[in-house]
Amino acid sequence: MGSRARRTKGDGLAAAGLACALALIAAGPVAPRADAASASAYLGAISQSYVLAVALDVDRGIVTAVEKVSIRNRSRASIDSLDLSVLPHAIDAYTAAGPVLVDGRRASTRWTTGTNLRVTLRPAVKHGRSATLTVPFRLDLGPGAGSFGSRMGLTGGVLNLGDWFPILSTAHDAYGIGDPQVTWTADRIRLELTLPASVDPDQVAASGSRLAWDPVRRRLVVEIRNARNAAVAVSPAYTITTGDVDGTLVRVLALGDAGPAIFGEAAAALARYEDWYGPYPYPTLDVAETGVDDFGQEYPAAVMLGRNVVAAPYAIWHEIAHQWWYGLVGTDQIREPWVDEALATFSSLYALGQPIASCSSLPIDLPITAWPAEPTSGDWAGCDGYAETVYLRGAVFLDEVRATMGGDRFFATLRAFVSGHRWQVVRGQDLVDAFRSAGIATDGLIRAFTAYR
């Protein structure tokens, strides 16, 4: 492929064309301590679940919700605070609709960054104990613009809700390059969506299985288990294409007539990736056109694609690859974004037989903060830019490892890695150690592309 291309951010990678360029578009439980601490250090050892009662005003872009977050402390430390990542706060779309409650009592809260809401737990939640937060909030969403606005906004007649509700995360601020949250697997995320009369329940794309539809109350209940997040996209203009792909219910929600073509690419991607990486982890997959121009973003069991990328096979394959590399095997997307992004990029380019090349000379294992950015925007262009380094040079690294190990050994190693790290958050060191353990001479490549030893 050509050495450089203009890129914008959606998931990630969005770029102009892919003939010679790409199409537009912490490891398990932490060692415990005995003293009280923020949950940020122990998220791998805290079970969590979410139930959101949500009313959607699609015409005005208004979302009103009451969220309940239930946790159980499986670490040996006492947890005295929880950090909630609230990305709508970065675009001034979030308003508290009442006090945050912990087990029914008003809790003390404060914004420690532009997007991190810290909730104090009094008393601290000890080992083996549980607590439930109640978080009422409202979103007022305008036309989506930029990375964050494309995730959540009312654009082209579509109400997009990605990264939209307060979610347990590490304490950090928004950053305009890379994915803006680190999330651990929740036992379940349940969405109880009240729809306006203009929207048919089939015109809702969402993470998870549809459990119930009440036509009188116009309430659709969707639930996903073992998920790091959940997304929704709604439009009265959606046309629906559905089908079964080896036991997975695939639904394509399109704004035009591209649904059957998108379905075909999604079905092919699922089959190829199941062969390479093991079973797809969810019973459903919704692929939704968002109305935003240049955007692509993955969520568990859901993919969002902008109208300029929706017809690009690469964009569809890239985001579906994230169902394994992010959804099934989690990463710290702030400190080590290459782990999921390079794997999704390699997977899609290699599967489609498209060139894998980069002009970057930087180590691929840099954090997102290695590149300058504002809270909601950043520069993705340039040979040593974020996309060229993390996505493309990361894909080059993986392709060279594949060539060195041989395809069979390489994909067998990745399949075993997925099986051994289901629902965890892994480190880049874990992945390169898996390559080393295969007994093939990959040390030189690892040292040439990364700082891992």
Query: Where does the pLDDT of residue 340 fall: very low under 50, low under 70, confident under 90, or very high at 90 and above?
Result: very high
In a domain, 165, yes or no: no
Average pLDDT on 138-149 reads: 84
Q: Which helix (H) or strand (E) holds 435?
A: helix 428-437
210-250 pLDDT, tens digit per residue, is 999 999 999 999 999 999 999 999 999 999 999 999 999 99
Q: Residue 418 is part of which domain span?
A: 7-24+326-449
In a domain, 16, yes or no: yes
Query: Where does the pLDDT of residue 307 fall: very low under 50, low under 70, confident under 90, or very high at 90 and above?
Result: confident
C-alpha to C-alpha distances, 431 to 31, 301, 452, nearest whole angstrom: 20, 24, 10
398-428 pLDDT, tens digit per residue, is 999 999 999 999 999 999 999 999 999 999 9
In a domain, 445, yes or no: yes
Tokens at residue 421, please? Answer: 């790290």
How far is Cα 112 from Cα 24, in angstroms, rounded to an integer? Answer: 35
Residues shown for the chain? 453
User: What pTM did the predictor assign?
Assistant: 0.91
Q: Which helix (H) or strand (E) holds 261?
A: helix 259-277
User: Which pLDDT score is estimated for 36?
Assistant: 59
pLDDT at 441 over 90: no
Query: Where does the pLDDT of residue 371 fall: very low under 50, low under 70, confident under 90, or very high at 90 and above?
Result: very high
State in Å, rounded, how far the first CA of the chain is from the last one.
30
In a domain, 247, yes or no: no
In a domain, 424, yes or no: yes
How far is Cα 231 from Cα 286, in angstroms, rounded to an integer? Answer: 10
How far is Cα 285 from Cα 409, in angstroms, rounded to an integer? Answer: 29
Tokens at residue 306, please? Answer: 């902008």
In a domain, 390, yes or no: yes
Question: Residue 343 belongs to a domain with what CATH number?
Answer: 1.10.390.10
Q: How many other CB atoms sit within 10 Å of the CB of residue 420?
A: 12
In a domain, 415, yes or no: yes
User: Which pLDDT score is estimated for 144?
Assistant: 78
Query: Where does the pLDDT of residue 19 fall: very low under 50, low under 70, confident under 90, or very high at 90 and above?
Result: very low
User: Which pLDDT score is estimated for 375?
Assistant: 78
How far is Cα 231 from Cα 166, in angstroms, rounded to an integer? Answer: 12
44-98 pLDDT, tens digit per residue, is 899 999 999 999 999 999 999 999 999 999 998 999 999 999 999 999 999 999 9
Cβ atoms of 253 and 266 closer than 8 Å = no
Contacts of 93 (CB under 8 A, 6+ apart): 139, 140, 141, 142, 152
Average pLDDT on 279-296 reads: 93
In a domain, 340, yes or no: yes
- The count of domains in the chain is 1
